[in-house]
Amino acid sequence: MSSDESAGNTAKRSLSLPSSGRLMAGKTTGEVTHLHEGETVKCNLCGADDHEQLYSARNYGVEFTVVKCRNCGLGYINPRMPAETIEKMYSKRETIDLGFAVSSCGPLAVNQRWHDARFGKMELHYRGANPSYKTGQPLRYLDMGCGIGHTLEFAKRRGWEAHGIDISDWAVEEGRRLGRDIKLTTLENSGFPDEHFDVILMSEVIEHVTDPMHELKVARRKLKKGGIIVVDTINIDSFFMRFLGERSSFIEAGHLTYFSYRTLRETLQKAGFRVLKGYRGLEIDLKDFLVIYRETIPSHKAQAIELALTVARKVGFGDFCFGGISYYAVKE
């Protein structure tokens, strides 16, 4: 068993992430209740202060409300805890369930073929934006919100210069123990110079940050001209999100912003990027997808359902998926 897997098998504390109103964090030593005054926020995409309620939910002991901007359609939790409170809580070990800190892609995290396919897609889009680039040349890569840094290992195997950042004390310590180059910091305070990276990955991170637009603008500064950013997150317009509503596992206290395929594209464009390609669901090719799922999901029924949904997306029912969207964008 790998050291990563050993970490995942250690005793878990319940995840407690910030939102508005009352936060109750369950621990093995008993229940602890934190009371905070919620702050109202405006739409991060268009700045409007005009919204309608979408969902009212409670999970991980947190009660919160998801609203939708009437002007641009962006979803977000409102009211919510102050940004400084949220940042402090993410830095605490007891606020991070191992399933979140270890990986942003669950059982796919340690699958060689999954990462080969995804890094191949990064190279494809990087080459599209930089025609002089030859596949196999080393790139300088940053995983933003990397947890313990799974992707850094796969980037290094491609010969890339791999760096990671995260604000979780525990995740950074564990990643460093495994020999990975991870800084305990935000990107803005990381000390990395501007125009430093060729590729930045934000995998299931943008929905957690308090100011997505600001984070994307900082990321753009840190990219070289021709550098690309890869952003993936949940899709609030997906069929399953609409069908399950607040019962969806994606409606979660730690997800502060809820993008659709359209609003994520518009957010990237407003932050100064040119969008190269957007994907609903997994962006890897169908052949790789089927092999990977045979290796990671033993249930033939689950494989059949995913195959049917993938075909539905390919023939035009784009939002008919479990919730994922991915975008590749370039700094020009």
Q: Which amino acid is at 249?
A: S
pLDDT of residue 170: 81
Q: What is the mean pLDDT of residues 141-153?
A: 92
77 near 256, Cβ under 8 Å?
A: yes
Cα distance between residue 175 and residue 162, in whole Å:
13
pLDDT band at 205 (very low <50, low <70, confident <90, very high): very high
Cβ neighbors of 107 (< 8 A, separation 6 or more) are 296, 297
Residue 266 has pLDDT above 70, yes or no: yes
pLDDT band at 80 (very low <50, low <70, confident <90, very high): confident
pLDDT of residue 287: 67
Q: How far is CA 289 from the centre of its chain?
A: 20
Which SS3 state, helix, strand or coil, does residue 282 take?
Answer: coil
Report field, pTM of the whole predicted structure over 0.85: no
Residue 99 has pLDDT above 60, yes or no: no
Residue 255 has pLDDT above 50, yes or no: yes
Residue 119 has pLDDT above 70, yes or no: yes
Angle between helices 300-314 and 286-296 (to 10 degrees): 160
Q: Which amino acid is at 274?
A: R
163-184 pLDDT tens trace: 999 988 888 998 999 999 999 9
- The β-bridge relationship of strands 140-144 and 197-203 is parallel
Listed residue (151, 224, 220, 137) closest to 182, CA to CA: 151
Lowest mean pLDDT among 29-33, 160-164, 288-292: 29-33
With the CA atoms of 143, 147, 150 and 156 taken in that order, what torsion angle do they form, in degrees rounded to the nearest 10? 40
Cα angle 289, 102, 258; round to 5: 70
267-301 pLDDT tens trace: 999 999 999 999 886 566 666 666 766 666 666 66
Cα distance between residue 297 and residue 303, in whole Å:
7
* Full 3-state SS string of 81-132: CCHHHHHHHHCCHHHCCHHHHHCCCHHHHHCHHHHHHHHHHHHHHHHHHCCC
- The β-bridge relationship of strands 161-166 and 197-203 is unpaired
| Bigger pLDDT: 261 vs 39 | 261
| Bigger pLDDT: 319 vs 90 | 90
**Averaged pLDDT score across all residues of the chain:** 78
Q: What is the mean pLDDT of residues 80-90?
A: 69
206-239 pLDDT tens trace: 998 999 999 999 999 999 999 999 999 988 987 7
Tokens of 186: 């935000």
3-330 placed in CATH 3.40.50.150: yes
pLDDT band at 7 (very low <50, low <70, confident <90, very high): very low
Cα distance between residue 178 and residue 127, in whole Å:
31
Calculate what percentage of the chain has a pLDDT beyond 70.
66
Cβ neighbors of 19 (< 8 A, separation 6 or more) are 38, 62, 63, 64, 77, 80, 81, 253, 254, 256
CA of 103: how far to CAs of 111, 143, 146, 175, 245, in Å?
A: 12, 12, 8, 11, 25
Listed residue (202, 207, 274, 267) closest to 235, CA to CA: 207
Lowest mean pLDDT among 115-124, 136-145, 272-281, 294-303: 294-303
Listed residue (100, 79, 76) closest to 22, CA to CA: 79
Q: What is the DSSP letter of 192?
A: P
